[in-house]
Each structure stands twice: as structure tokens, then as C-alpha cells.
Amino acid sequence: MLIELPCHINFLDPADAVDHLQTYASSDGLFVEDLMNGWLHGGLTYNDFLLLPGKIDFSAADVITETRITRNVVLKTPFMSSPMDTVTETEMAISLALLGGIGVIHHNQPAENQAAMVRAVKRHENGFITHPVVLSPTHTVADVLDIKAWLGFCGIHITGGGGGKLLGIVTSRDIQFESPDIPLHEIMTTDLVTAPQGVTLNEANILPIVDDQGRLTSLLARSDLLKNQSYPLSSKNPDSKQLYAATAVGTRPNDRDRLRLLVEAGFVLDSSQGNSIYQLETIQWIKQTFPKLEVIAGDVVTREQAANLVAARADGLRTGMGSGSISITQEVMVVGRPQATAVYAVAEFANKFGVPVIADGGISNVGHVVKALAPGGSAVMMGGLLAGTTEAPGEYFYQRWATLEAMDAEKSDPSPQANGMPGSTKHALYPKSAPHGNAATTRYFSENSTVKVAQGVSGDVHGQGAAVKAFVPYLYAGLQHSLQDTGVKSVEDLKKGVRDGSVRFELRTASAQVEGGVHGLHSYTKRLYT
């Protein structure tokens, strides 16, 4: 049977294509509210959805990734490292801060060690050092050596005569061949060139800055001028020009003694379940005792949990429960929430009160970073993704021709190997201190339990063979290109587009996830960056 086809079909005028979109009831794709409708879709992870592409009329280099992680702290990039003892110590925190993020130093160590790490981060790049380390003429070479061992430098200015008048300077060359008991006034250099108080950072070519009475007021770290050029995104306190540092503390009464040693850093309260009386009382105590400190509370995954922490005056929230790569909380404790749904639910509530939300866990690639920001997150906290970099303090070992790095979620005892003991390939030299309680037990409320139920595993990740200073720029560039494809010029524009519906989403079936990955090849090589 033959079917006659019409010889002519009336098509619409192509010039009217854009106007014709107005005839549709809604834009293509889903509103975020429809995507996150738990009654229809259940809880979603980052792999369960995609963002639909927008219009590109700008360069990826023009995309601004600036974001707020607390009420008052703004970073140039939304990258944070997790407070795990195999992820964040001094080197990781410094590297991330230089690259626009912030590292959260773990508290599974003596408080004195943790405080020393915070000081090392903040002194790495100072600009104008308004509270310089000084000695008097009667101090000895031994005192300079102590400062070098503790803080890592030995260029010390000598003051005295009342009122902090600058008298001289002692450098490493001055003490190199001297006895430790030699007084500094015998070896210090007194012929100094100074700059007047009020000089700008770019104008100051001289290290010591003095007032009109010759008193030392600050120092200029010349090396930091070079760092300003090399690391334009670096995360700095706008007042002191020091690198931002954050540190984790527990929520028990004895953690308050630790906190007093760490007041120069920002704080992240570390607990697997943030909606507890311990955390609420700790936040209230911090705000009463140190009202200017920025406190990030958590972890939470529901708006009911978030409400109590917001009411307690938390400055930011961590969101995630059981979504980390080594966590088994959802399996063992049967509590938690898929991470994308958790970020959306908490951010939708907390953002109404000006409280940023940090997506903690579940980030395994740069695409997940974007998917954490789109539902309302302000930053991502990464553990496993950074654990294989050379700045992470974990232990390297080799197995079947692969370089691996250890990770621990639960520890019954603090590991000596992660801190420079035999068998480790990494080390950190800090003064020995008295034994301390294990942070992992208090984090999971199990310090008084006879039988401790693990909520994480010990494992390893492939060593990336790369430094954070190479890997984070890849994340940064990937984030810029992703936002460009989405058609937004900044993280803030992404959130605004999600709220007003101009940024749309698509739900992914299991088959769609297979299709969206590499498939149909016998073998392939996957390079993250070149």
C-alpha cells in the first residue's frame, strides 16, 4: 500500500524561533524545587542530576568563584580541606590558602601542636607584621635558636630602651658560629635602614617600619610581595593580611582549654551529629567568651538540625552525614541523608538567615563541586579528593606497582606514624606534649562507651603524584568552565539563577548515568589535567 506524503509542509519562520519559546508553559528542564521533591524522587546524590547548559557570551577566565563560608569570611575559591589527620596539617593549610581556599587543621593531636600549626599558617604570608617577634639585647643566641625551632625563622629585631625602640637585628649569619650563651648585644647589627610608619605595602622597600620616635611598629615581609604576585587568589584576613587558617575543635567541656590556645584561627566544631546539647552549649560559650570568632557548626542534614545551630548564632554550617568516602554511618547507624538533598534542605533554610552552608563529603570530581554549589552550598569540604596529594600528611606505601596513601576515619589510638615516627614518609616537627584524648571518639559521642562502634573504615587512596598547587588550579579552572557552560559568570549568579529558575536541572536515570560516562571502549586513558 502506498502512502502519499504531503508535498509541502508549512514550517514556522526561523526568525521567530526565540519568540516561539514564549508559547511553552515553562522553560526546559526542572526547577530545583521539583528536582529535590523527595515525595517524587527520594533522596538525591550528586550523580543523580545534571545542570542544563545556558548561553555563553563570556570567557571562562571571566568567571568569579568568590564565595562566603561564614557570615564575615569571604574566599576567592570555594575549596576547603577536611579536618582529618591524613588530610590537613600545616602544609595542606598553607597551600590551600595560597590558592584561594582554606584548610581546617585536625584536632587529633595535642593542643600545643595544633596551635603551632595555626601560627605557622598565619605567619607564612603576613604583609605588614603588626606584632613582630622581638628580643632584647640581653637575650642570648640560644633564645634565637629556640625561635627558629618553634617558628621556623631567625631574623629577629632587637628592641629596648623603653617603649620598644628599635636597636638592631640578628640574622642567621650573626649566630651561625656563635656560642648559645652569647648575649645578642654583642653580635647584633645596629646600622639599620628603616621606613616611616604609614608607608604602603607597595612603597615599603625596607623591612623595619618605625614611628617618629624610632619605635618598631611593624615589619614588612618582602617575600610576601612576591607571593602576592604569584598567588593573586590567596585567602587573607583583610586587616592583618595574614593567610586565613581554620582549625577543628571538639564539643566537650575540656575542649575549651584547647580552644583558648587557638583563638587566632577560625573554628570548625567537629561532630558527626551537630544537633547536640554539647555543640549548642559550646557555640554559646564561644560567642560569650570570644565574640569575634567565626564558628562553623555541624554536621547537619535537616533544617530542624540547622535551626538550633542558627539560633545558637553559628556563623556557618557543615552539611553531610555518611556521605564521605570512608564513612559507614548510613550503613551502621542507619541515619544520614543523600548529600545533594541534604545540601539543598539545609541551605534553603539557613541562607534565609545569612548563614552559609558548606557541603562536607561526597566530592569525588570537579563536577560534584558545581553540583554542591547549585542547590545552595557556598563551599565544598574535601577529604579523599586531597588525601593523595603530596601536601597531605598521610603515610605513603607501595603495593603492586601503585603508590598509595593511607586514610583513617576511625582511630582507637592516635597514630604516631602520621606525625613523623618511623615508617612514615612524611613528618612534622612540633614540641612533644602530654597525652591527649582521641578526637574520633568524641566526634561520634563514644568516649564513654565500653564497646566502640566504628562509623568509618581505614583505607587508602592512590597517590596522585601531584601537589595541591597543581591539583587545585585544575579544580578552579574546571569550576570556571562548568559555570561558563551553565551560562553564569559567578558562584553568586549560579545561586541566583537557581532561585529564579533561569538555571534548570535534569534528573538522571541509571541508564543516563552510564551514558554520561565513558563507555563502549576496549580501554582508555583518563587524564584530569595537562
Alpha helices in 401-467 (DSSP H): 439-443
Peptide bond into 485 cis (omega under 30): no
pLDDT at residue number 164: 77
Apex CA 304: angle with CA 301 and CA 310, to 5°?
A: 90
Residue 24 clears pLDDT 90, i.e. is over it: yes
Residue 114 clears pLDDT 80, i.e. is over it: yes
Alpha helices in 181-266 (DSSP H): 222-230, 255-260
Span 351-380, pLDDT tens digits = 999 999 999 989 999 999 999 999 999 999
pLDDT at residue number 204: 55
In the chain, the N- to C-terminal Cα span, in Å, equals 60
Question: Residue 502's CB: how many other CB atoms inside 10 A?
Answer: 14
Quick one: cell of 237? Answer: 584576613
Span 407-457, pLDDT tens digits = 555 443 444 333 333 333 443 444 443 444 555 555 444 555 555 666 656
Residue 474 clears pLDDT 70, i.e. is over it: yes
Q: Does 487 or 333 have the greater pLDDT score?
A: 487
* Low-confidence winner among 4-18, 130-144, 498-512 (lowest mean pLDDT): 4-18
Residues in the chain, overall count: 530
CA pair distance 301, 296, nearest whole angstrom? 14
Apex CA 417: angle with CA 411 and CA 423, to 5°?
A: 135
Tell me how far CA of residue 302 lies from CA of 160, 335, 342, 377, 500, in angstroms.
58, 11, 6, 14, 23
- Can you say whether residue 474 is alpha, beta or left, with left for phi > 0 and alpha for psi between -120 and 50 degrees? alpha
CA pair distance 474, 78, nearest whole angstrom? 13
pLDDT at residue number 432: 40
Burial class of residue 46 (count of CB atoms within 10 Å of its CB; 0-12, 13-18, 19+) = buried
Of the candidates 216, 212, 188, 191, which has an alpha carbon nearest to the alpha carbon of residue 128? Answer: 216
Span 60-108, pLDDT tens digits = 999 999 999 999 999 999 999 999 988 999 999 999 999 999 999 999 9
Quick one: cell of 16? Answer: 521567530
Quick one: cell of 413? Answer: 589510638
The backbone torsions φ and ψ at residue 440, rounded to the nearest 5 degrees and listed phi first, read -65, -35
* Burial letters 114-123, b for 16+ CB under 10 A, else e: bbbbbbbbbb
**209 in helix, strand or coil?**
strand
Q: Compute the average pLDDT of residues 156-164.
A: 78
